[in-house]
Amino acid sequence: MLPFLKLGDQVSYRTHYEHTLCRGGIITHDGIRVFFRKQEFDHAFFESSGRRGENDVFSVERAMRMDWIVPALTDPQAKRLQGWLKKEQRHDPTRRVTVFIDGFLVVIALRIGPDGRLRAQFVTCYPADTRTQGKVSNAPYWRLEDCLNALR
């Protein structure tokens, strides 16, 4: 089990995210460079306080696992599944969900970069509850060939 990141407040977590992930050149276990935008902090580390689905409350539970993102993306043994497009009600081979320790999920979106190489954009991460873990476990495995075919 990896240690939790324990910082004083939301500003400290945001600073840590920007300094460790947004500036870093994170490379997945299979050689895909992952980019982190500053604005993704609000999506990844906030939760909805109600049923409307707006991410309006900072989540310490999510933020404490921030340092798990890189180990998840670089672990060759982690389970990788296709992501789900809620609006379209289908799995998407250009989205990769990495299932890590205790159901911690890291979602990246893949595309072909200007240099012709496969690149990824960090989308979100969160500790999945039992219901979500059940749904995720039914997703097809992510395969590079399927991703490349979908991007063509």
Residue pLDDT, tens place only, 27-55? 999 999 999 999 999 999 999 887 666 78
Label residue 100 exposed, middle or buried (CB < 10 Å: 0-12, 13-18, 19+): buried
Residue 24 has pLDDT above 80, yes or no: no
pLDDT in tens, 104-128: 999 999 999 999 999 999 999 999 9
The whole-number pLDDT of residue 15 equals 97
Yes or no: say if 42 and 50 are a contact pair by the CB < 8 Å rule: no
Confidence of residue 64 (pLDDT cuts 50, 70, 90): very high
pLDDT in tens, 8-17: 999 999 999 9
DSSP class of 31: S
Mean residue pLDDT across the chain: 94
List the domain boundaries for the chain.
Answer: 10-151
Confidence of residue 83 (pLDDT cuts 50, 70, 90): very high
Our CA angle for 73, 4, 122, nearest 5°, is 30
